[in-house]
Amino acid sequence: MSTLLDALPAGHRNRLRGAPPGAELAASPMLATLSDRRDFSGGGWIFERKLDGVRVLAVREGDRVRLLSRTGQPLNGTYPEIVDALADQDCPDFTADGEIVAFSHGRTDFSRLQQRMQLTDPRQARASPVAVTYYLFDLLRLDGQDVRALPLRVRKSLLRRALRFHGPLRFTTHRNQGGQRLLDEACGRGWEGLIAKVAEGRYATRRSPDWLKLKCAAGQEFVVGGFTEPAGSRTGFGALLLGYHERGRLRYAGKVGTGYDRATLLDLRRRMDELERPRSPFADPVRERGAHWVSPELVAEIGFTEWTRDGRLRHPRYLGLRDDKSPGDVVRERP
């Protein structure tokens, strides 16, 4: 056991167990629950900035480093500079959780990150003008020990001391109080929101109310089930037809026709042509003339202002494709 773990109080050391392989631990990350809660006056919570990036788990076992998406997809070729920074650590055995982001004008920008997410050749990734930063916020494994049963505060303290945060690696700081005031400040700065976490909570391998997503604006991922033809000078397609899963059915949520540049329109059309099918995948009727239907395999991140009374998106805008989320896991997020 490491010096850091040896220094823990006996009550905390008793919670440690021998850890399974790092990739096995990373297979079921803890997920946050969307919430409209604003009163945290009872205490016991910490608040972190909600980042607009992709969830990535880092596994270091001796000389081997692996970056894995939340669905287990290997990402070493996409973010080789992150792999280098983790391989340079003195600590040879850990599994950590975090978010990779790209910045634009001081804010995390998912659309900009898209330019890196599409690359799998490490040479092309290193040559990309899009710099990425890996914000680490939790620790699952350290020196052969499973630390998920430790309180969050303890896990974050171990993470901060076990690794050196330099280059593209950052430690995700937190505040101990503030709730609504912190969220107001975050929204005023153009951030996506906050994550509120139970300070003494364990790391649960599921979606948990111990982690709450507090958003400044509505937005979530949707499954692409079809598209419309372009009109006028538009190229590629007109709008994506979107849905989410509910009780085993794909429910229609509306269409999104904004947020694309020409390259994105052409790339998405190429992808959707390969997935075209003769019948609609939606359980609801979709009244779009000349719609094309596709197998529901693509997941898109969509920003919008609110849901309408009839279950459609108001003022949606396309932000990018997500390859770190399974289409079958896409549901309507409700506070």
What residues are annotated to the active site?
A: 50
Structure tokens at 71: 């669905």
Please name which of 271, 244, 239, 230 lies closest in space to residue 258, comparing C-alpha atoms.
Answer: 239
CB 47 within 8 A of CB 179: yes
Residue 48: closest CA among 160, 138, 110, 149: 138
Q: How far is CA 225 from CA 222, 230, 306, in A?
A: 9, 17, 21
Strands (E), 191-323: 193-198, 207-215, 219-227, 240-246, 249-256, 276-277, 292-303, 306-307, 313-314, 317-322
Nearest of 69, 44, 115, 59 to residue 91 by alpha carbon:
59
